[in-house]
Structure formats: structure tokens, C-alpha cells
Amino acid sequence: MKKEAIDYISTEIEYERPYFVFPDLNSPEGNPMEYFKMAQATLQENGFKKESKELGDLRFSKYSDHFDIINRYLNFSHSKVVTEDEEYIHIKIKKSSKLTTQPRVFYEKSEEDIKDLIEQNHDFSLTNCYNRNHLHYLNDAKAIKLLLEENKNQQWFDLFDLDNFNSTLLHGKNLESFTVILTAMYEESPAMTKVFLYGENCFSKNAFGDFLKDCDSIFSPKQNMPQQKTIDDITKVISIIGKIDPQKRDELLNAFVTVEEKNPSFKDANLKQTIFRTTLESELSNEKTNNKKLKI
């Protein structure tokens, strides 16, 4: 009997998500490049741009994992055949209990947008079908800082979400936003921050790995010396890592010796000394009662 995409699913998903008609695996559309493209387009059509990008980044995973991965984002099990006779094929489709399109309010992403929503007494506890709240879709550092500050009083959402699909709010953020959220997490719970920094999501990815990728890009041999704001954000992250994992901080700092060796322009700009000094200043400013020296 010919196998369909649904036959390769090994993980049961409980939450609602948009429907997707998976193509016949033996058809021209049944190759990975095509069905990932179709799945991404379906997410886009339902307003899930972030999820579409996430799915696209996973398209080079093992073939055997493709169906479980897409099933996390889209429901293609709704057309399961229940019974079949000579004249009819009977299928069962479950009614959706939650909206499977992106709430329009999540398109409001600037600092001014968030300020207006707060003034309108908007309920930021609202989540979409993936159980993701407004914070998941913000990339503007000022907007994030404003929402996090207001959330301290309103308690709309928990900063630490142990859902291993969403994994952590640190994923998918630019460096500046990553720094803001990581700082807020550390202030709330250093122990949980370590869990969220190193803990892997259901796709074996974690926030620390994302941070290393950002650093690899910023300090690649072909790059020029980054702006001071970028240096400041990186050292803030390294400083927080130092508080929860001193050994890892020291490894990161010592790695800049190799970075300078691969890019003479970084050495000419005293990158290593700049990173060390700025990290030390960040640690001292945040630890007024415990001025630890860096082990370098």
C-alpha cells in the first residue's frame, strides 16, 4: 500500500494549527524543496511570517524528520481515512476550537504600537494557536523593554515558558533584543535563565547556539570592527553567562585570541582588550556587592 505523509508522523500534536494539504509524495510536488515551499506559503497565507521562516530554516533536516517538523506547524492529519467502501471514502475532520490565523494585533510591533495598546488596556495574555504571545513577535528592543516592564505589574505572561516547541523567547531574536530579554530573565531567576540558555527545543536548537552563530557572523575574518553598540550587547550577554556559568564565559573571552589571529584588523583595533574591558565593566556595574575578577 502506498504511504502518505501522514503515515510518517511519530509525534502527536494537541494544539490547533492551520490545515495543510500535503501533496502526494510520488508527485512532482512530493519532493522536499516543493512541499516545504508549499508549507511555508500556507503559513504566510495565515499570517505566520515568523513561523514560515522557522520552518524554512528546518528544511535541510533529515528526510525522516520532515513530516514531524511540518506537523508541528501545520495540520495535515485532518484527512485521515476512517472507512472506505466501493463508492465512498469517509474521512474525519476535527472542528477547530481556536483561531488558526495570526491575530492582527500581533502585527503591532513598534514601541509606539505597544505604548498605544497599553494605554488602550489591551490584554497581552492573548496567545495564538501555537500558544505564543505578543512578545514572541517583537524584535524592537525598546518595544520589548516597555512590554516587559509593564508585565511586571500586570503579569500577563510568564517569561519562562517550558513549552519545548516554543522553547524560549530567546530564540529568533536579534542581538539587541536577545540582550534585553536575557537580562530580564536573569533578574527574575538566574537558575531558570541557565535552563533557557542551554536547554534545547524540540528541534535540538538552543539560545546559546543562536548567540554563537551571531558572534561567528559578526566576527568572521571578512568583517570590519563592529560598532560599539554591538560590542556592548555582546559583552552584556557574556557578563550574564559569567554569572551563571563562569567557565563558559572564560572560554568565550579566550576565543577572541583566535578571532584576532584570523583577522588582523580586529587585532589592530584591540578587539580582545575591548571585549575583556567592557565585559569586566559590565560585571562590576551589575555586581556592586560582589566584584569578582575575570579568570583570564
Task: Read off the pLDDT of residues 71-105 as tens digits, 9 standing for 90 and up.
Answer: 999 999 765 555 666 666 555 555 555 689 999 99
Instruction: Give Cα 130 distance to the centre of its chain.
Output: 13
Rg (C-alpha) for the chain, rounded Å, is 23
Q: Is 109 a member of any domain? A: no
Find cell 575591548 and name the residue. 274
Residue 43's domain comprises: 5-91
Q: Is 193 a member of any domain? A: yes
Q: Is the dihedral of CA 129, 167, 137, 63 positive or negative?
A: negative
Calculate mean pLDDT across residues 22-48. 95
Q: Which residue has the higher pLDDT, 238 or 291?
A: 238
Is the pLDDT reported for residue 288 higher than 90? Answer: no
How many Å apart are CA 2 and CA 27, to the nearest integer? 12
Choose the final residue of a domain: 62, 91, 120.
Answer: 91
Is the pLDDT reported for residue 296 higher than 50? Answer: no
How many structural domains is the chain composed of?
A: 2
% of the chain exceeding 70 in pLDDT: 86
Position 165 scores a pLDDT of: 82
Q: In this predicted model, what pLDDT tens digit does every residue of 201-252 receive, in sequence order?
A: 888 888 999 999 999 999 999 899 999 999 999 999 999 999 999 999 999 9
Based on the fold, state whether residues 162 and 282 are members of the same structural domain: yes
Q: Is 232 a member of any domain? A: yes
251, amino acid identity: E
How many Å apart are CA 286 and CA 292, to the nearest integer? 11
% of the chain exceeding 90 in pLDDT: 70
75, amino acid identity: N
Position 284 scores a pLDDT of: 77
Residue 81 parent element (H or E): strand 81-84
Mean pLDDT of the chain: 88
Based on the fold, state whether residues 259 and 180 are members of the same structural domain: yes
Choose the final residue of a domain: 58, 91, 124.
Answer: 91
Q: Which pTM was predicted?
A: 0.86
Among residues 13, 132, 128, the alpha carbon closest in space to that of 72 is found at: 13
How many Å apart are CA 97 and CA 87, to the nearest integer? 32
Choose the final residue of a domain: 41, 62, 91.
Answer: 91
Based on the fold, state whether residues 62 and 170 are members of the same structural domain: no
Q: Is 117 a member of any domain? A: no
Among residues 107, 81, 106, 105, the alpha carbon closest in space to that of 92 is found at: 81
